[in-house]
Amino acid sequence: MMIKIGKWRWHPGFSAAQSRMQHRTAEAVRAWLDQKGYTKALATQQAIAADIGVPSDQLRIYIRIRHHCSVLAWRKELRVLEACQLLLDYPDLPISVIGEMVGISDRSNFKRMFGQSKGMSPRAWREKHATGGTASGRRPGAV
């Protein structure tokens, strides 16, 4: 249960200072998402946290509470959502280029990651959704 006191949202067991840190983390994450930081080739949670500008443990806690997954799983899903949008927006763009645009330069890794998330290859997904609309009904990076 979340309790809202003033402008801070408290998670049970969080002190006021911890809640303020969560708020600062949320702001930093939003800025990183706006800049599409998830498309950078950052291999570890620590590298992602450094790029966002927050402590690694604080990012891990924020993502676990907010998205119920690990930092790397969250970033993977952001990349897949971005790839879905690009597949729709650029139907003639090669799959390998889409992979590079979302931060995965190896085509087979991109296809594997996409398939794990969507249950089909990027090409099959594009063909299935070619009639229009958006990939998931929301833009990539929603916090």
Domain spans of the chain, in order of start:
14-71, 74-128
What does pTM read for this prediction?
A: 0.78
For residue 72, the Cα-to-chain-centroid distance in whole angstroms is: 9
Query: Which architecture characterizes domain 74-128 according to CATH?
Result: Orthogonal Bundle (1.10)
Mark 18-56 as b/e (b = at least 16 C-beta within 10 Å): ebebbeebeebbeebbeebbbbeebeebeebbeebebeb
Residues of the chain with pLDDT under 50: 1-8, 10, 133-140, 143
Per-residue pLDDT tens over the stretch 90-104 = 999 999 999 999 999
Q: Do the domains at 14-71 and 74-128 have one common CATH topology?
A: yes
CATH code reported for the domain at 14-71: 1.10.10
